[in-house]
Amino acid sequence: MGKIAFLFAGQGSQYPGMTKDIFENVPEVHNFFGVAEAIRPGTLTQMFTGDTDTLKRTENAQPCLFLADMAGAIALMKNGVSPDAVAGFSLGEVAALAASDVLSFQEAFKLVCQRGKYMQKSAEAVEGGMVAVLRMDKALLQKMCKEYEVYPVNYNCPGQVVVSGEKEKIDAFKEILGEQKVRFIELPVGGPFHTPYMESAAKELKNELKEGKVYKLKKPHIPLYANKTAKPYPQEEKEMIDTISDQICSSVKWEETLTNMAESGVDTFIECGPGKTLSGFVKRTVEGARVYSVNDMDSLQEVLRELEKDA
């Protein structure tokens, strides 16, 4: 077996009750969630018993998803499975910062709470949405996005690109997609993320990181692949801060990230967090990869059994 990568799920994959049984059965996860609850009271209620609309709000979704992402990673590491590289999809990149020791778990949780607030504020200033466009020629899609003043933002895998923008423009864009018989999926998110509409949120996050009072950034102890560049994170603090904050209004180069990880020797990808969206992207991008997901105790035990076979 080659190298193992942990992948961390992004916003849109959340659902009430996610990773609750891991919280109840893995003491290290229970303890970490307790620390997070002390920092942001009410998070566990939103996560385990909240309704879908509450969890959809960015300021709630991001802290809750961060915990769900970290639950899988903590449970795996507690059982002796450590990553050789990490990457997180959008919001998931904050979990990757924690998993690679750039930030402590507590620092990363505080950061994701602030990130969610800043992005919620930007989203409320401009009503927007996001759609995943399927099996459309990339060059043609980019040309059409320019024409309709929307943005191709998430390059997920071959044949899937997410487009983001103002609601009225996204609605007009969906209409033309329908006329051209192009398949698309509306995403359950609350704003035009990864577009210039998020620049104010990126600026606020950058200023907070620059203050250096709450966050002490360290060099990643393993390769941490950035959404913005699809390459490992820079080593200098200023460049790291730019990468973390600019990600909010930059495209997610996920397909390229997975390809680069595979070329570095990663052949086993474990998705941590709710759902199996990232696992699907890996299967469509990296031929022959071993792909697993951890989102509850059953899937955790299954992954541990499969990895033991490969050892």
Question: Which whole number is the average pLDDT over 293-310?
Answer: 94
- Please list, residue by residue across 215-251, b when 16 or more beta carbons sit within 10 angstroms of its beta carbon and e when fewer do: bebeebebbbbbbbbbebbbeeeeebbbbbbbbbbbb
* Confidence check: pLDDT of 311 > 70: no
For residue 80, name the pLDDT band (cuts at 50, 70, 90).
very high
* Confidence check: pLDDT of 191 > 90: no
* Confidence check: pLDDT of 190 > 80: no
* Confidence check: pLDDT of 284 > 90: yes
Instruction: Let me know if 90 is a catalytic residue.
Output: yes
Determine how many CB atoms are found less than 10 A away from the CB of residue 178: 11
In the chain, the percentage of residues whose pLDDT exceeds 70 is 99
Instruction: Let me know if 30 is a catalytic residue.
Output: no
Pairing outcome for strands 266-272 and 290-294: parallel
What is the phi/psi pair of residue 165, to 5°? Answer: 170, -175
CA angle 50-301-294, nearest 5°? 45
Q: Which of 100, 194, 293, 299 is catalytic?
A: 194
Distance of CA 81 to the CA centre of its chain: 21
The domain segmentation of the chain, as residue ranges, is 3-124+196-310, 127-186
Q: How far apart are the first and last CA of the chain?
A: 7
Q: Which of 90, 100, 245, 299 is catalytic?
A: 90
Give the SS3 label for residue 151. Answer: strand
Question: Which whole number is the average pLDDT over 147-156?
Answer: 96
State the Cα–Cα distance between residues 75 and 146, nearest whole angstrom. 44
* Confidence check: pLDDT of 60 > 70: yes
Topology (CATH) of 127-186:
Alpha-Beta Plaits (3.30.70)
pLDDT digits (tens, 9 = 90+) for 244-265: 999 999 999 999 999 999 999 9
Q: Which pLDDT score, from 0 to 100, does residue 266 have?
A: 98
pLDDT digits (tens, 9 = 90+) for 103-134: 999 999 999 999 999 999 999 999 999 999 99
CATH of domain 3-124+196-310: 3.40.366.10
